[in-house]
Amino acid sequence: MVIEEINWLTMFKKSIMIKIGIAIGILVAAVMLMKKKDMSYRQSILKTMYPVIMWSSKSAGKKQTLTNKENIAPAVSFYTLHTKDINGADFSMASLKGKKVLIVNTASDCGFTGQYEALEKLSKQFEGKLVVIGFPANDFKGQEKADEKNIASFCQKNYGVSFPLMSKSIVIKKNHQNEVYKWLTDLSLNGWCTQEPAWNFCKYLINEEGVLTHYFPMTVDPLDQSVIDAIN
């Protein structure tokens, strides 16, 4: 009886492994068939797997969201900040007065890169009220090694990105941190928040008066109801 049970368990495990192997094989084959010439195989696989990645991490995102519940005003105005756009031109945050701003650190080779599509939809949904800004960065496991020209091309061709992208920069707390991200992560500047990006595609929301109101981690989809409610 014991031997029969062991044999049954062994056969069951083998069956599961075979099914997993077949599923992986189908996935790889599908990616190879669907692979775009403007994407690497890694990027194609990550895009295909993106819904699974978001589903598996959804519950964690809510716990990591931060909110400026007391509406603390910044010590240094958001509108004094400057950076460079993807083409190297000066970009002043003063040009965003009167609109909400969603700032996102981005990367082309990340499991969350699929959020580009949702960010574009969000940008269109709240056009005239919200400005989404992408800050490409290579701060996490070398997932943004491309230069500005290739980043812009990748985003437009594969995700239809039309919202502003900035020049590639450092967004975490280290030497030469981007001025905008220094403001976002220093409470002596923004008034309350010290949270640096935990990974690619973390989101910071600034309201129409230049007050930092929310931090959303990478595990919160840009079209999640919590983001929509914060914008509204």
- pLDDT tens, position by position, 121-151: 999 999 999 999 999 999 999 999 999 999 9
**144 backbone φψ class: left, alpha, beta (φ>0; ψ -120 to 50):** beta
For residue 48, CA distances in Å to 22, 69, 150 come to 17, 37, 21
Residues 118, 69, single domain; the answer is yes
pTM for the full model? 0.82
> Which structure tokens are listed for 183?
């403001």
Average pLDDT of the residues in 149-178 = 96
Q: Which residues are catalytic?
A: 158
Residues 79, 192, single domain; the answer is yes
Show which of 60, 79, 110 is a domain's final residue. 60
Of 78, 120, 98, 21, nearest to 204 (Cα)?
78
Whether the per-residue pLDDT at 29 is higher than 60: the answer is no
Show which of 60, 80, 100 is a domain's final residue. 60
One-letter amino acid for residue 192 of the chain: W
Would you place residue 187 in the very low, low, confident or very high pLDDT band (cuts 50, 70, 90)? very high
| Helix runs in the chain, H state only | 2-34, 41-64, 115-125, 148-159, 179-184, 187-190, 225-231
Q: Which domain holds residue 43?
A: 2-60
Residues 81, 21, single domain; the answer is no
- Total domains in the chain come to 2
Whether the per-residue pLDDT at 204 is higher than 50: the answer is yes
Residues 201, 143, single domain; the answer is yes
Average pLDDT of the residues in 183-191 = 98
> Which structure tokens are listed for 116?
């580009």
CA atoms of 192 and 190, how far apart (whole Å)? 6
The overall average pLDDT reported for the chain is: 87
Whether the per-residue pLDDT at 218 is higher than 70: the answer is yes
